Structure 1
Amino acid sequence: MTAGFQASLLDLDGEPGVGPLGAAVRRIPLTDGAWIDLRPGWLTGADSLFDRLSRDVPWHAERRHMYDRVVDVPRLLKFYDEDEPLPDPLLPEAMRALNEHYAGRPGAPFRTTGLCLYRDGRDSVAWHGDRIGRGAHEDTMVAIVSVGTPRPLLLRPRGGGHSLRHELGHGDLIVMGGSCQRTWDHSIPKLSRPTGPRISIQFRPRDVR
């Protein structure tokens, strides 16, 4: 179900930029060498960034094989390879800041940018790990910045188990690292209540999808 996008009352300065990382990042160890880092409200001017990306990104729909049929992917997509110009100057600024913070750590540096537009609560992504390419056998990192209406991101051990829930939106940052893509799964579930749109900005290393 669709609801209009409601800007955050905390994002009043309107000046786009990235906040500090360092001690502002909270590390949560998981199991089997996996971890996540959380930095709420990392981007300032996140609501105006949402508006620009909604307008300027050439979003497209995809269809994929699912079991014995072809189905619509329940979100809009755009992928930028490392040599492609990004659609907003705040995105390369964010990637540079992440690469400075995580320099020299396993899985760095970030090279590509993927964008997903969740138009309402009917859009979602099923349980998965980013295990195409190096993520299938190496420790990697995937950084996700959420702008727009907060949506829950769920994580659980691969194969099932108790799930963790984090509401992400309005410039929040989550980084999944260590063995997280191999040993844990994550998802954005469908919602039955009216929900506004959200854009997920994913920064990944080379050869990780």
Structure 2
Amino acid sequence: MAVHLQSSLFDQEAEVSTRPLSGLRRTELGHGAWIDVLPQWLVGADALCEALIRDVDWRAEQRIMYERVVAVPRLLAFFGRRAPLPHPALDAARTELSGHYAAELGEPFTTAGLCFYRDGRDGVAWHGDTIGRGSTEDTMVAIVSLGAPRHLTLRPRRPGPAPVRTPLGHGDLIVMGGSCQRTWEHAVPKTARAVGPRVSVQFRPDGVR
């Protein structure tokens, strides 16, 4: 699959590595939810993005909306607990995140969901990861954003705290924790601006989708 990715001037490394997770900064959102953010956690993220776009067996999905079948505006891939991940850097990242959050989460990250946003016409509507345990339990979802930056927007499900808008790309990491999946929603809005391709990698524990 041929795409053109405008690389970051600050991420010219071909070999993928990580920066210390001690640089994470936590923001309390309210209603028991929080996010941790670490810009440019992955070094060499643009090369990883290009490899995933090229090598992953991406699939297109459809859904019913307003009694019509429409295409989901992004391509998807999912790797369960026992499925080999498509790049060793993802195994290393998942292991490092599991170790860092072991005491707080109480279990490892075991699955990886990948989304490929081809351009600004791709996005994801407001939702929480509430299929499974996320609908009733506190949990964590760690997202590594590769490629062109896109805004991840969060808003509370009930009135109170102000929405949060965070640009993510080129190896940025965000971890949504606490009650975030059931008390807040998140989205990647479509945009009319000219933007390059983006891949997001979502690490989750068992039973959270």
TM-score, length basis structure 2: 0.95
1:66-105 alpha-carbon deviations (Å, 9 max, x no partner): 2422211000000000100000000010000000100121
Which amino acid counterpart does residue 10 of structure 1 have in structure 2? F
Q: Which runs of 5+ in 1 are unaligned?
A: none
Cα deviation, residue 116, structure 1: 0.3
Provide the secondary structure at the position in 2 that maps to 1:92. helix
Q: Which residue pairs with 2:96 in the alignment?
A: 97
**Count of residue correspondences:** 206
How far apart in 2 are the matches of 1:160 and 1:130?
20
Question: Is the 8 Å Cα contact of residues 116 and 199 (structure 1) preserved in structure 2?
Answer: yes
How far apart in 2 are the matches of 1:160 and 1:4?
41
Q: Which residue pairs with 1:149 in the alignment?
A: 148
Moved over 4 A (4+): none
Q: Which residue pairs with 2:187 in the alignment?
A: 187
Question: Is the 8 Å Cα contact of residues 13 and 47 (structure 2) preserved in structure 1?
Answer: no
Q: Which residue pairs with 1:174 in the alignment?
A: 174
Question: Is 1:44 equivalent to 2:43 in the alignment?
Answer: yes
- Percent of residue pairs identical: 60
Cα deviation, residue 4, structure 1: 3.7
How far apart in 2 are the matches of 1:160 and 1:128?
16
How far apart in 2 are the matches of 1:129 and 1:190?
18
**RMSD across aligned positions (CA):** 1.4
How far apart in 2 are the matches of 1:130 and 1:104?
22
TM-score, length basis structure 1: 0.95
Question: Is the 8 Å Cα contact of residues 46 and 170 (structure 1) preserved in structure 2?
Answer: yes
Which amino acid counterpart does residue 205 of structure 1 have in structure 2? P
